[in-house]
Structure 1
Amino acid sequence: MKHLGPVHDFLGIKITKTKDTYFLSQRQYATAILQQMNLASCKPLANPTCTKFPPSYSSDSSLDPQLYRRSTGSLQYLTLTRPDIAYSVNQLSQHLHDPQPQHFFMLKRLLRYIQGTLAFGIPITKTNLHLKSFSDADWAGDPDTRRSTSGYCSFLGDTIISWTVTKQHTVARSSTESEYRALAALTTDIIWLRRLLSEFGIDQTEPTEIFCDNTSAIALANNPVFHARTKHIEIDQKYVREHLQQNNIRLLPISTVDQTADIFTKALSTPRFLTLRNKLTVSADPLACGEILSV
């Protein structure tokens, strides 16, 4: 083994060190993806998604399904330092088998957003070691299957350490059911994180706070009486309640406006997206010059 000095690059992730911060970014890797799609000189956008699609799409015969799959697969690795694009990449990944013109439109829009945020990444800051999480779900958000999308993230102090975007396996019959399934999935992730931190000697003496904007899901978790109408989510209900009773987690209400995990579950307007991106701590490399984005 050889001591190579302070770390500055690891598997395509650039690590920049300042006084009390490590900054992780993948600028070179993102640039390679743009070059692969011949979009290295495209105009940037401020939002990777759109809330309303155009009435028609280009019928360009050069749309290559293999290139779509290759680029989408590459973007999945880029999400290691870019949680702000996790929802967009998740949407693209659902159509690898048969990409249509609207999916190429979504891909190019995402790449134009990346073009304007090449220097962006996530900082690891010197802060407290208190674990907290945010959970959200978009009920029946998929217009084809009406399945919901779960999204959640966890912070250790001010540093984001875990995030997930996933489509639920079954159709939820209510918003409470979809939110509760997201809570159950997040609870599993939190228990693993607490055990991992414990192995590092960072014991979480207090329950991990989970912020949820669905008061019905919180009430269901705290209600010791099991109702027949919630029988279809009995396992999730008992699982979350068990960890509540063991003081591993604590559910707290939060306004939808302040729900950080909202960025993982749906397409947002540009002002809303930028606000939540800041809450995720995704920002430009402090040693790189700033860039101006077009809306």
Structure 2
Amino acid sequence: MSEGEPLQDPTFYRSIVGALQYLTFTRPDLSYAVNTVCQYMTAPTEIHFNLVKRILRYIQGTLNYGIQFTHGPWQLQAYSDADWAGDINTRRSTTGFVVLLGHNPISWQSQKQGSVSRSSTEAEYRALANTAADLAWIRQVWLDLKVCLPQPPTIFCDNLSTLALSSNPVYHSRIKHLDTDFHFVRKRVQMNDLVVQYVPTQEQIADVFTKGLHSPIFLSHCISMRLGNPEQDPELDLRANDNNIS
């Protein structure tokens, strides 16, 4: 998505995108789209500005979206996912995760991975390690505040190979370049500080943070994160038009 006429006033683009970043603090559903347009701050084009306007139209149609905290179990759980080689220019993958307290989102991320992953399992495992690190930090903060969890946090992942690696005591040479991530996750699983479970792809909430989704799936995941259920046009979404992607 690098073609198009350069904007005459890129400062205006940057100011809007900068403001959108603040919205992601309470609107997890915006994280992936805003993260995408942030990648073109240096030299934005008309195509990129059209994507920004699409985000603004989506916000206009979902003004009553927002995190709605509800009563639920005192349990930390997270959904972790990765879009393998999704960037057609660099082939870097995108990590996405959301941490829930009960049913309420309290932490989330949509971010390009720092290096190119050679397989979907590698990309998913990097995402799993990032999620585990976030959970470890949250849990440590709570321990410092004398708040104890009744059971260890759970991460839901939709990649069976990644799930197997997280608990497999045998070290695989094909993932030796993931040495730190591999041992970090596996050690926490062995110490019963973390549980990794499988979730079907259609129930993987973290998909919202890794790629553009069709409206019904996107809205379903938003409802699962307790962002609300507004009456809106079911065709309203954040995906770019295919003609705008090159």
Q: Secondary structure at the match of 2:154?
A: strand
Counterpart mapping for 1:189-228 below 5 A:
189-228=134-173
* CA drift at 1:68: 0.6
**TM norm structure 2:** 0.90
The CA deviation string for residues 87-139 of structure 1, in whole angstroms up to 9 with x for no partner, is 00000111101112211111010000001112221112232211111000000
Map 1:118-197 → 2, pairs under 5 A: 118-197=63-142
Cα distance between partner residues in 2 of 1:88 and 1:189: 22
Residue of structure 2 aligned with 1:269, choices 214, 237, 240 = 214
3-state DSSP of counterpart to 2:68: strand
Q: What CA RMSD, in Å, does the superposition of the two structures yield over aligned residues?
A: 1.8
- Structure 1 residue 95 and structure 2 residue 35: aligned? no
**Greater helix share, 1 or 2?**
2
CA–CA distance in structure 2, aligned partners of residues 236 and 119 of structure 1:
39
- Which is higher, the Rg of structure 1 or of structure 2? 1
Letter in 1 for 2:89: D
Change (3 A) 1:193 1:62: closer
Q: C-alpha distance in 1, partners of 2:167/2:148?
A: 25
Counterpart check, 1:72 vs 2:12: no
Post-superposition CA distance 1:131-172 (Å, at most 9, x none): 111000000000100000000011111111110111000000
How far residue 276 of structure 1 moved from its aligned partner, in angstroms, is 1.0
Question: In structure 2, how many angstroms separate the alpha carbons of the residues matched to 1:123 and 1:182?
Answer: 26
1:245/1:157 Cα in 2 relative to 1: closer, same or farther (>3 Å)? same
Write the distance in 2 (CA, Å) between the matches of 1:223 and 1:294: 43
Aligned-pair identity in percent equals 44
TM-score, scaled to structure 1: 0.76
Partner of 1:251: 196
Distance in 1 (alpha carbons) for counterparts of 2:135 and 2:94: 19
Greater share of strand residues, 1 or 2? 1
Question: Over residues 261-281 of structure 1, what are the superposed CA-to-partner deviations in whole Å (9 max), with x where a residue is unaligned?
Answer: 010000111111111111111
SS in 2 for 1:122: coil
Q: CA–CA distance in 1 between the matches of 2:121 and 2:225?
A: 25
1:18 — aligned with what? none
